[in-house]
Structure 1
Amino acid sequence: MIDAGLPAAGRTLPLDHPGPWLRRYHGRPARAEATLVCLPHAGGSASFYYTWSEALSARYDVLAVQYPGRQDRHREPCLTDVGALAGALAEELAAAVPADRPLVFFGHSMGAVVGFETIRHLERSGASRPPDLFLASGRRAPALSRDDGIHRLSDAALITELGRLGGTDTSVLDDPELAQLVLPAVRADFTAVETYTPEVGAVVRCPVVALLGDSDPRVTPEQAAAWREHTTADFALRVFPGGHFYLGDGRAAVLSTVTAHVDALLGG
């Protein structure tokens, strides 16, 4: 169900490259109602959102973010700084996203942090279309960021942590060659998110919706609700059954919630 940045072995994904950081798997509708930018978790890749693109591309222009160091970018060095990730992504989005339709971000776990800082970049730069809505999933609020030391674990302990979070089939990492492909990206991503410190009082100007699983071992509802302090606009909290990767088994309910919030943004 959930990849950890492995190459797409045994299958060829339809692919459109709006730029190095963005993947469009199912084309762009002639009259897209909104642009939906989806940011994956630590160790994840753009293909995590392939099924989202399949489900939503009839209405939205779905762009999945591909961090360097995985899948078709596996030869590029991983970035270990949230600011560097956000700055590079913001630059590409400013050039690739049209200004004539709403722009929505969805970021899961690490993707929520990178999404938050990318939005701040776009707002500060005076982009022609700053984001209109931010859905922050499976992540405590930026002000509650802390270093849990996961990026300093041994390879074996890191694999155990991935298994505890769920969503990744860690049995594939029993193969040393596959582990050598995947673990550097996982470690780099955890380094980025665990060394991230937001500016004091950092906020975005768009509405924020925080989403999480009710049994997530990494974030409590109270920690997710603290996203309220990071927007000058409206805030909402949505809790789903499940753990850190609640959006796997609960995909239909999550997609329904995402589309409901986008429809509200569109005035539907």
Structure 2
Amino acid sequence: MTGSWLRNGDATTDAPLRLFCFPHAGGGGGFFRPWRALLPPQIEVCPVILPGREARIEETPYTRMTDLIDALCEGLAPYLVRPYALFGHSTGAAVAYEVARRFDGDPLRAPRRLLVSGRRAPHLAARRRAFADLNDAVFLQAVVQLGGIPEEVLRHRELVRMFLPGLRADFAVNETYRPAEGPPLTCPVAAFTGEQDPEVTPLEMSLWNRTTEGPFRMTVYEGNHFYLKDLPGPLRADLAAELDEDVRQAAA
């Protein structure tokens, strides 16, 4: 894959802390770009662009987590020499976790913190049927029911043709993902979830505490799987507070 994992100009400021953000299945970096104006300027929000969407729409998306993480970590490594944290939502939470595992313990590139949202702890088995092998019509209706795309989008066939391969690939990544055995992370982990999320219960979210030897914190918000859309005030304040220690240490 030759495309850039970041948009031109990202990860170039002198902000003390970079926050690399990984989207839900089928999502793009645009989901996180509004966060730049909402989080403190000491935090540079860096949305990650996966193959098969946005500026990389013509690239073949990955369908296996190991292949994705190998390429992603190689591409991001030059940007990880400055202090950074990772945020992932839904499938992106698993991606962020695997990036954290890859660099945890690296004296130059270890993450300061992992923030996960809207996904069951990685060691838990799936509790819903697989979507990746459904025919297109059934697959798209299932994603609509999850709240992943508005139903009216399905009327735009050319748009569907463009985003469907990346969406299917992301579901394949998620549904075939099995974390390898390994030690827990050493960095702090914070988990965030919507109380009415049909994909994960607060209890299942709380089991992310097993992924780290460091501090763990969980916060539950009113809302469904996309409780975080547009970065509502309570989540905005909690993210800023969660990252404040990392910002202060990085700026010292």
1:109 aligns with 2:90: yes
| Cα offset, 1:174, TM superposition | 1.5
1:53 to 36, 40, 63: 36
| Cα offset, 1:123, TM superposition | 2.3
2:70 to 87, 101, 107: 87
Contact 1:145 1:196 in 2 (8 A): no
SS, match of residue 239 in structure 2: helix
Aligned to 1:161: 142
1:228 aligns with 2:228: no
Contact 2:35 2:230 in 1 (8 A): no
Aligned to 2:50: 67
Separation in structure 1 between the aligned mates of residue 218 and residue 146 of structure 2, nearest angstrom: 21
Separation in structure 2 between the aligned mates of residue 156 and residue 140 of structure 1, nearest angstrom: 26
Contact 1:138 1:219 in 2 (8 A): yes
Aligned to 2:19: 36
Shift in CA distance, 204/145, structure 1 to aligned 2, threshold 3 Å: farther
Aligned to 1:22: 6
Separation in structure 2 between the aligned mates of residue 97 and residue 57 of structure 1, nearest angstrom: 20
- What stretches of structure 1 of length at least 5 have no aligned partner? 1-18
| Cα offset, 1:71, TM superposition | 1.3
Contact 2:104 2:187 in 1 (8 A): no
Shift in CA distance, 109/202, structure 1 to aligned 2, threshold 3 Å: farther
1:143 to 117, 120, 123: 123
TM-score normalised to structure 2 length: 0.90
- What stretches of structure 2 of length at least 5 have no aligned partner? none
Separation in structure 1 between the aligned mates of residue 102 and residue 96 of structure 2, nearest angstrom: 10
Mean Cα displacement is larger for which, 81-90 or 240-249?
81-90
Contact 1:148 1:194 in 2 (8 A): no
Contact 1:106 1:112 in 2 (8 A): yes
Mean Cα displacement is larger for which, 160-169 or 135-144?
160-169
1:132 aligns with 2:115: no
Separation in structure 2 between the aligned mates of residue 255 and residue 22 of structure 1, nearest angstrom: 22
| Cα offset, 1:27, TM superposition | 7.5
Separation in structure 2 between the aligned mates of residue 33 and residue 230 of structure 1, nearest angstrom: 26
SS, match of residue 228 in structure 2: helix
Shift in CA distance, 26/113, structure 1 to aligned 2, threshold 3 Å: closer
Separation in structure 1 between the aligned mates of residue 84 and residue 4 of structure 2, nearest angstrom: 19
Q: What is the aligned length?
A: 246
SS, match of residue 204 in structure 2: helix
Amino acid at match of 1:190: F
TM-score normalised to structure 1 length: 0.85
Contact 2:11 2:46 in 1 (8 A): no
Separation in structure 2 between the aligned mates of residue 259 and residue 29 of structure 1, nearest angstrom: 18
Amino acid at match of 2:37: E
Q: Could you say what the CA RMSD is over the residues aligned between the two structures, in angstroms?
A: 2.1
Separation in structure 1 between the aligned mates of residue 183 and residue 59 of structure 2, nearest angstrom: 30
